[in-house]
Amino acid sequence: MAPASSPPSSKAVCVMDASGRLGSSLVEKLLQLGYTVHASLFNNDDFFGGRKGLASAEAGKRLRVFRSDPFDYHSIVDAVRGCSGLFYSFEASKDQANYDEFMVEMEVRTAHNVLEACAQTDTVGRVVFTSSVTAVVWKEDRKSAGDFDERDWSDPNFCRKFKLWHALAKTLSEKTAWALAMDRGVDMVSVNAGLLTTGHEMPASTPYLKGTPEMYEEGVLVTVGVEFLVDAHVCVYERPSAFGRYLCFDRAICRPEDAVKLSQMLTPSSPCPPPSEELQVIQQRIKNKKLNKALLEYASGV
């Protein structure tokens, strides 16, 4: 998607954590759009590995790489300093793929440190906070509720009861970020993403996938491709009128054949199973009209 207008090349933004699937893709997109990018890494991965475009002479002039500790407020401030905006997302490292109560605490503390750093950095004009659909759909009365949208929140007590740690982490970290943003006057929008699909095999232990059968049965199992997710982030950052939360997905899994395709996408090396007779066509109960409207207006320059 082309932006309505290209930003000045001198405008700097920070992408944190840039070592994740979304973060690294955001860095590449923002460099293509002419931004100067501070790529803040929480993990010690080889950031340039497999990303030849980032190592080009032109991109290299506008790319600075920072090693940040999510528990070290000052290292976060160093990465954000001089930036007009921040794109923040938290992805567990490969050796921390299984969410538990420790990961919940880690996400909440990191979100607090990041928003506090932005509040203390005068140049930061907007924060785009990546959250999840799992921070929206898990609550006791969800079956009797109407369609889900940006106004809905997962219930932390429900998440604790059923050990939905990913949902709890995303819910509490986003609530922490919103509370601090409103208290400190930080201009923040959040993007609540569906299950991120990248074309690579995804283990069944992926934290988002806990409760997948229930999400399917209740019409709230949704996925998003990384390119669409990146475009959504750029859109809500560049549109001055963007506000609040945005549900972000480009595919709803509501038919047995869709469920089979998702299974194949997650584990492409496994044989393709036939659609289960137990699966039925489900009415979609989650809406992303707000984001679709914003993307349409952004693409048309409105």
Task: Determine whether 170 is an active site residue.
Answer: yes
The label of the residue with tokens 């219930």 reads: 155
CB 236 within 8 A of CB 192: no
Q: Where does residue 112 fall: left (phi above 0), alpha (psi -120 to 50 degrees), or beta otherwise? A: alpha
Cβ neighbours of residue 85 closer than 8 Å, sequence gap 6 or more:
13, 14, 124, 125, 126, 127, 128, 237
How far is it, in rounded angstroms, from Cα 277 to Cα 199?
Answer: 27
List phi, psi (to 5°) of 267.
-135, 75
The alpha carbon dihedral of 148, 154, 159, 165 has a sign of positive
Which three-class secondary structure state does DSSP give residue 217?
helix
Compute the distance between CA of residue 286 and CA of residue 192 in angstroms, rounded to an integer.
Answer: 12
Q: Sign of the C-alpha dihedral, residues 70, 72, 74, 75?
A: negative
Closest C-alpha among 84, 80, 73 to residue 9: 84
Describe the crossing of helices 73-80 and 101-119 by its angle, rounded to 10 degrees: 50
Tokens representing 125? Answer: 């004009």
Beta strands in the chain, from DSSP E residues, in sequence order: 12-16, 36-41, 63-67, 85-88, 126-132, 188-193, 195-197, 222-225, 244-248, 251-252
Of 139, 170, 210, 290, which is the active-site residue?
A: 170
Catalytic positions, written as ranges: 170
